[in-house]
Amino acid sequence: MSAVLAASAVALRVLVSADPAAATVASERFDARVAELTQAVAWCEAHADEAGRFEIVLAPGIHTVLGSVQVPVAIPALSIVGRGGARVVGGIVEPKPAWVEADAAVLARVPDEARAHIRAWRLPASALARLAGPVHSGHGVSVAAVHSELMVDGRPLELARWPNEGFAEIGELIDPGSVPRDGWDDVPAARRVKQPDRGGVFVPADRVRPMRWKDEADLWALGFWNWDWSHEQLPIAKVDADTGAVTLARPHTYGLATRGKFFVRNALSELDREGEYWIDRAEGVVYAWLPEHGEAAEAGVTLAGEPLIVLDGVRGASISDIAFSCTRGTVIAARACAGLRIEGCAFSAVGARAVELDGTGNVLARCDFRDIGGTGALLTGGDRPTLRRGDSAIEDCNFRECGRILRSYSPAVVVEGVGNRVSRCAITRHPHIALWFRGNDHLIEASEFSEVVYETGDAGAIYVGRDWTAQGTVIRGNLFHDIRGSDARFQNAVYLDDMSSGITVEDNTFVRCNWGVLVGGGRDNTLRRNTFVACTKAVSWDARGVGWMAKEIEDPASSTLLRTYAAMPVASEPWKSRYPHLGDYLTFDFGRPVRGVFAGNRLVGTPLGSIDDRERVLESGTISELAEGELLEARAAEAVASAEKSVGPRPAIAR
């Protein structure tokens, strides 16, 4: 076929199948048949000038990708589509692995009560080089991939840990370690302290427990070491079996505090309950106390650390109807793409961030995210200095149990840039912030947020913080329910933190939340026509810019707010017209929450809460209804049911 014939109507199709005779695709016409996705992409690239469209069809079954599949820019209008339950995995997946009795020497290191339950799976030699242990990760320590995990029957098991649930307490703090945070550039120079790195030393409240760990060669501890919103997983350098003292191999960002809490992981000596596993990486053997019927179930071990599919600058591609799972890192990394559509896919048993979608006019639709180690989807696009919109969207997606390993600052959904949208999504069971946005003019609508912010404090289901210029986002018509917590821990549904400004929160329903909305001192914020039912309080609207935070907006050299303000062309077009008040932030009522609007909100069995600066935040049209006990419960159930009719996601997910 010559290039002359390459009309856009012509499509070339490639089948990826280890078994080309697979029944469901046998009747379809294909221009080529290959065994692996990388070969299909290479075939399309080689024939790129022969057609206007390309389609790669993945046959039913398991397709293994251990290095990244790079989608070349040269392939026009490429669709990668799965048929009949096609799966792409970044590890070893066996329908029924050969579990055998564990080696006696290994069993000797396992607690007595667990010994009879432990089974062993020897991995193929080819897997050894890709097995990975725990990595340094946490708040402010982003990672591309985590440790190798065992997946049984589609769900990840737990790397052997202590305690089995929750966290252990620090009994005695011997040395908090160095405090890297004190040396950061946003600390005023006079107060800035840089110290050499020094790991903290502590004795757990259970002083006897560390005796078990004396033979562990690669022991790690994940803790909220100081603040309950900042987790970090750190390597353990030394365990003193006599005193119980644990020495960390590196400092925690904020230094250790006695209020800190932690658990240890990767300890064969703590493999003591169903659902836990440990991997001998040198020998390539997995040891597990399998769940009931687990021995007969499919099992997998995550291996790939690189994104499974990478698209860089690709236009008009699509990926659909594929179930992705069993990988240590990211599944799809799309950078500077345009018109990319990811649709009807499932993502599960993923170690770090599942999807990165950057560029313009991209869409992630009807996808299901479950058991994701970090963020489910990161959506970026648009240009802040010019306010050019990204016009990308996440629609009709489910996010469950994201932030499974990276437990703070790995929101289920992150939206950045300008002019992007989240519509009809559901986010549930997330330990910290469910949706974080940065930048301008986003729309977050018709989505449901429930049972989030359950492990961490000072957080909201939706969060934005510390940037006066991140204006124009509208949070509209969402349902927030069962987001409990305490006043002391500042847990809330919508958190406009640290002077966030120019945000509109309207027509939302808040049911059984701790605080509905926390407005942290910002300007030009509007809360209108929201309904609050059975919440601890509707709003906490403070004036921190003339309170505790005043010192943080004094010094242009170190203040994050002053620096981000100076970085945007707020006095030029299109900013000047788009945000007409932004120009007066440093000169008019500096630090006060000016032009705040709290209008037409309905409070059912919910106190208003607090508005600190009544001269600058105007309340009007509030309707308060008293309700308590069974009546309040009924009103809450009614409000959830009513709101659920208008929030997503709607369509079923293809699996």
In the complex, the residues that contact Ca ion under the rule CB under 5 A are 164, 270, 272
Minimum CB–partner distance for residue 517 and Ca ion (Å): 40
Minimum CB–partner distance for residue 265 and Ca ion (Å): 9
Which lies closer to Ca ion via its Cβ, residue 228 or residue 272?
A: 272
**Distance of CA 239 to CAs 30, 201, 260, 277, 458, Å?**
61, 10, 18, 22, 33
Minimum CB–partner distance for residue 163 and Ca ion (Å): 7
Structure tokens at 606: 């919910």
Report yes or no: 239 and 218 within 8 Å, Cβ to Cβ: no
Which lies closer to Ca ion via its Cβ, residue 164 or residue 318?
A: 164
Helix (H, G, I), strand (E, B) or coil at 529: coil
Minimum CB–partner distance for residue 264 and Ca ion (Å): 9
Report yes or no: 222 and 248 within 8 Å, Cβ to Cβ: no
Which lies closer to Ca ion via its Cβ, residue 270 or residue 395?
A: 270
Minimum CB–partner distance for residue 111 and Ca ion (Å): 8
Which lies closer to Ca ion via its Cβ, residue 272 or residue 358?
A: 272
Structure tokens at 98: 């050969």
Which lies closer to Ca ion via its Cβ, residue 38 or residue 164?
A: 164
Which lies closer to Ca ion via its Cβ, residue 211 or residue 296?
A: 211
Minimum CB–partner distance for residue 284 and Ca ion (Å): 22
Which lies closer to Ca ion via its Cβ, residue 162 or residue 579?
A: 162
| Beta-carbon contacts of residue 89 (< 8 Å; ≥ 6 apart) | 62, 63, 64, 65, 300, 324, 325, 326, 327
Q: Determine the residue with CB nearest Ca ion.
A: 270
Q: In whole angstroms, what is the distance from residue 478 CA to residue 504 CA?
A: 13
Helix (H, G, I), strand (E, B) or coil at 210: helix
Q: In whole angstroms, what is the distance from residue 282 CA to residue 198 CA?
A: 29
Which lies closer to Ca ion via its Cβ, residue 227 or residue 278?
A: 278
Report yes or no: 296 and 50 within 8 Å, Cβ to Cβ: no
CA angle 326, 71, 411 (to 5 degrees): 50
Which lies closer to Ca ion via its Cβ, residue 270 or residue 507?
A: 270
Report yes or no: 345 and 321 within 8 Å, Cβ to Cβ: yes
What is the DSSP code (8-state) at residue 650? -
What are the phi and psi torsion angles at 3 (to 5°)?
A: -65, -25
Report yes or no: 481 and 504 within 8 Å, Cβ to Cβ: no
Minimum CB–partner distance for residue 267 and Ca ion (Å): 8
**Distance of CA 370 to CAs 395, 398, 465, Å?**
16, 8, 27
Minimum CB–partner distance for residue 262 and Ca ion (Å): 14
Which lies closer to Ca ion via its Cβ, residue 405 or residue 459?
A: 405
Q: In whole angstroms, what is the distance from residue 343 CA to residue 574 CA?
A: 34
Minimum CB–partner distance for residue 269 and Ca ion (Å): 9
Q: In whole angstroms, what is the distance from residue 169 CA to residue 191 CA?
A: 31
Minimum CB–partner distance for residue 114 and Ca ion (Å): 8
Minimum CB–partner distance for residue 137 and Ca ion (Å): 20
CA angle 647, 651, 652 (to 5 degrees): 125
Report the phi/psi class of residue 79: left, alpha or beta, with left for phi > 0 and alpha for psi in -120 to 50: beta
Which lies closer to Ca ion via its Cβ, residue 274 or residue 584?
A: 274
